[in-house]
Amino acid sequence: MNQEDQLYNDLYKKAADLQYKFHGFTTGANDPHVHVLQNEIHQLIGDIRGRKDTQALETRIHNIEHQIDMGRHIPQPYMNYGHSDLLHNSYEEMRHNLLDFEKKQ
């Protein structure tokens, strides 16, 4: 398996894991922000499966991080801070992995 294949496989596994965590963290939440974020996370997985270029993936991840940050500042947060920090940090790690991969190319 070459480095690019390994990158996309690792990204897919991480994104799928984070999607399940997000669903667990927001079960029962009926907030429009949750639906927007669910869609972004779902789109990221589709982008990874479609092997979109790393810059597009980085942009999608940045959008997800932004949505997580916005969710912290609404009157009734749909996720506790510990969960949002975990997700944000995990997505940031994914983004850094993409940046490192781009540098090696």
Q: Where are the domains of the chain?
A: 3-104
Over residues 61-83, the pLDDT tens digits come to 999 999 999 988 888 888 999 99
The confidence score (pLDDT) of residue 16 equals 97
Fold entry, domain 3-104:
de novo design (two linked rop proteins) (1.20.1440)
* ∠ Cα 70 49 2 (to 5°): 115
pTM: 0.92
**d(C-alpha 57, C-alpha 1), whole Å:** 21
CA distances from 37 to 21, 55, 78, 91 (A): 13, 20, 11, 13
| pLDDT tens digit sequence for 51-61 | 999 999 999 99
